[in-house]
Structure 1
């Protein structure tokens, strides 16, 4: 049902004062560079967009993280001979509940879930044999410990039993490696333990990231430890956990993909709780951020393509990657991925982008306020390029200049989104919301040929749950009235927001 719109205000535009700019800096969102995606991935994204009508940037980012999850165990990427690392991606979508991220993720991770189920079924006999062998081993160990205990009590020699116990420790059965790729909302410690002891490649895919950013594990006492663990996993480093009462473990040569959706108020709360660590640790800087406009309220039913050939091709390729045997390091049982390198043309493009970013990090330059994110953009571009190459050409050959150009375009778009988000987080809530409300009012008025909208319509249709009560709307609206961008009036019992016509298309001609 469309909102009721009050038609043109009688006050001539010439009687309105010149609107003042809102306090604080705001960055306009840029259109997602859809054409930068390889054609086969772009086709899948468009299929899912048609089926879900979810925000396009969120869909594309979900496709990238699904590819990361399927491919991260197979390849690393080298920016030069001494600068190498994983291809894993961290994705973060800022969106309200109901944007259908779970549905979108379901489309792109279908191949992963089917692969997990097939592997669990195929390895069930090995698991059963392992359980039987482990029970037998534990029984022998218990018997030897009891024999040592009884011999000690009676003063008999225990050397033979002790030697047998040492030999038995070396014969402990090893659990079969069963691929477990998708993890639920778990603590960083539970995640690192699973990567160390079960399968060394996995992903956290969640449309309710409040349980990650707002969990007990992210409390003030443990936030530094947990942020460090997640940073190490993104870097592909070694993470050690020493325990007093349970088994200690080391996560080494593991890979982690993260794809989260979080509402802005939850992220704001996390930033307040984590303080300087949230950015100082580099945790948020590692994410490919997408903060798209909501599509809720515009998603009229459309019959989806019955075949969804683009998505089918995407999942078929992921299935091929998942069924490709993973290479392990025999020394530590961690992953041993193939190293992908840049072609000379790709290296030239990557260096050019890297240098362009670096030149904007100086004080008063355009990226000075997001140095943490900008410093990771080159790394993310290399990761995306390697994943595109893996998707299209496998583990052979070098990354082409065309692929690198596409990857850099996408990485730079995410940098723009991070700058827009971090700018919002640094502003007072009333200022940032006022800027969003101002843009929404202007767009809606231009669409409907009016300069008046009722407060009731704003509370119902504005795409943020932060303005659902009149008590929340009024202080934000004050920012617009103080800058002569709008005024608040009444028509009977109805409260109306009147937008300054000078902000609207053809506003100066209104009479």
Structure 2
């Protein structure tokens, strides 16, 4: 009989370095033939705190880089092999507290991938609590990878799965860290929430709008007591609405409309209506004046149509085909219907919007200070969301593809322009951001988002008439002059716009290319911007569009974007990039977690009324709509139970209570 040969002993040396790259120690791991392992440290006797394994890497990375925290050096290398940034602590699952985790304080997101055993889960919780005590704010996601054997880890997972499988598993199985940890960052008096806290925003770069518009924004923020970002967003969207029919951005032959899709997330009472009223005041004044002319033209049109129809009826009464044809030709063309000055529309379906710009002015703006009726309405229902988002994306591109729908008929986006500013509440925004299809289809990557912190509690009344501010008066007059200038059209009936091209100056082009390449370099799979890769892919176009809008505002006839305007465009695009990254956690929010959070809030609000004992029948009858069936309720309660937030009440009947 042949003698069986035991597998050889394997020895691996891991070099630990301090964050500055200097040597700290070596950990020697010995894998034995029987599957056991030994680890020793050279030199021995180090008290700690120890540096993280690979602590030298994070020091050179931007704060937007996702950090993956695992148990064991082997797992770190497994993740590095697929392009991710990973760290672990020295000494195994019981030694997290002996490590210096401060190099991670600069980073905004951490993914913790525990081993599949109780020590691994305990280690993950220890790490979560340590991260919560670090300065700054970040989101932490704990993901127990599916299909692992007992004591399995991410190294084992990657033996049979790709990096794409790992990212999908994290998206599906990752849960926000809860309880005494990073997801809530709540004080002892605050109720628990499952929703990830949005970190503080960067200061809004109002100066990048140019001195004139910056003056308007600062005055609006001061006298209406709104965040600077909200005022800036309203003004930028309003300017785009006015200039979009007059110019196109042109880069190496590629045409992009000077249209912008903006979104502001703010709470009820944060004065969304007030700030939008200031930004759109000159537009609404122009519409009121134009409406008087339109009504007179409409009356003349109706008279002309009656005469036309009577003449056609008489022509069609001729006896022979030839006589009818001759008589119809003699009647002439049908009177031209005047175009209604529908410059601003509120909550409208994409189908209605397509129909509007094909029957009224070929340019308009969707501006709504209560966009919840659009985002949470029929247009965004399960059956309609793909069509709605595709239609909006097509309008942003204005690529000229014809479109046929039963309600609107055959419509065309060629020669049409639409800008947008949707203002909505955080819970409404979460509905949109939680729709993966909104990212994958491309609608959210086309949006410029701001999510400023509320100023409630600090808005002391300030006397003053904003309409008398010199910057506001200049803005109102200038916007009105722009709107009074008729755009160029392809056709005599003014159905299709023909905006002139605006190209980049050589200096502006160099800046644009540098920005494009810098963002692209961070947008590789697993790279710092991978989590918002769709928006990052369009970052350079956003910068160009913003620069084009600001150039046209300063000089409506300009054909060249200057270096200064491109600096402004890049500065604002970088701000919006940070904003999208800052709130991207909302886009990855699992729908089950959103439903569980709504049930949790309901139970927190009603706990005193029912003495913290909730019968299932009570929750089914009075709870959130999403859990009004027994299966959904049970699944949601079990999820909250797994998170350690609720527990069943012992006794007859199905009862639950908050822990």
- Answer yes or no: is 1:85 the counterpart of 2:246: no
Q: 1: CA distance between counterparts of 2:338 and 2:349?
A: 24
- Relative to structure 1, the CA distance from residue 259 to residue 468 in structure 2 (aligned partners, 3 Å threshold; closer, same or farther) is farther
Q: 2: CA distance between counterparts of 1:220 and 1:183?
A: 24
- Relative to structure 1, the CA distance from residue 244 to residue 295 in structure 2 (aligned partners, 3 Å threshold; closer, same or farther) is closer
Structure 1 contact 186–212 (Cα < 8 Å) conserved: yes
Query: 1:303 Cα shift?
Result: 1.3
Structure 1 contact 340–395 (Cα < 8 Å) conserved: no
Q: Which runs of 5+ in 2 are unaligned?
A: 1-125, 133-139, 142-175, 177-197, 613-636, 645-659
Q: 2: CA distance between counterparts of 1:309 and 1:429?
A: 48
* Equivalence for 2:483: 322
Identify which of 49, 52, 56 aligns with 2:221: 49
* Equivalence for 2:131: 21
- Relative to structure 1, the CA distance from residue 340 to residue 472 in structure 2 (aligned partners, 3 Å threshold; closer, same or farther) is farther
- Relative to structure 1, the CA distance from residue 177 to residue 471 in structure 2 (aligned partners, 3 Å threshold; closer, same or farther) is closer
* Equivalence for 2:551: 389
Q: 2: CA distance between counterparts of 1:28 and 1:128?
A: 55
Equivalent residues in 2 for 1:421-460 (5 A)?
Answer: 421-427=583-589
- Answer yes or no: is 1:161 the counterpart of 2:324: yes
Q: 1: CA distance between counterparts of 2:366 and 2:313?
A: 38
- Answer yes or no: is 1:231 the counterpart of 2:393: yes
- Relative to structure 1, the CA distance from residue 86 to residue 160 in structure 2 (aligned partners, 3 Å threshold; closer, same or farther) is same
- Answer yes or no: is 1:373 the counterpart of 2:535: yes
Higher mean alpha-carbon deviation, 22-31 vs 57-66, is at: 22-31
Higher mean alpha-carbon deviation, 29-38 vs 62-71, is at: 29-38
Query: 1:166 Cα shift?
Result: 6.6
- Relative to structure 1, the CA distance from residue 469 to residue 221 in structure 2 (aligned partners, 3 Å threshold; closer, same or farther) is closer
Q: Deviations over 1:356-404 (max 9, x none)?
A: 0000011221111111011111111111111111122332252111111
TM-score in terms of structure 1 length:
0.75
Instruction: Give the SS at the match of 2:583.
Output: helix
Q: 2: CA distance between counterparts of 1:406 and 1:296?
A: 30
- Relative to structure 1, the CA distance from residue 425 to residue 271 in structure 2 (aligned partners, 3 Å threshold; closer, same or farther) is closer
Query: 1:142 Cα shift?
Result: 4.5
Query: 1:205 Cα shift?
Result: 0.6
- Relative to structure 1, the CA distance from residue 213 to residue 243 in structure 2 (aligned partners, 3 Å threshold; closer, same or farther) is closer
* Equivalence for 1:100: 271
Instruction: Give the SS at the match of 1:364.
Output: coil
TM-score in terms of structure 2 length:
0.59
**CA RMSD of superposed structures (Å):** 3.3
Q: Which runs of 5+ in 1 are unaligned?
A: 1-16, 149-155, 434-463, 483-511
- Structure number with greater Rg is 2
How many aligned residue pairs are there?
424
Q: 2: CA distance between counterparts of 1:364 and 1:335?
A: 42
* Equivalence for 2:379: 217
Q: 1: CA distance between counterparts of 2:269 and 2:603?
A: 19
- Answer yes or no: is 1:340 the counterpart of 2:483: no
* Equivalence for 2:452: 292
Q: 1: CA distance between counterparts of 2:292 and 2:407?
A: 33
Structure 1 contact 79–342 (Cα < 8 Å) conserved: yes
- Relative to structure 1, the CA distance from residue 395 to residue 127 in structure 2 (aligned partners, 3 Å threshold; closer, same or farther) is same
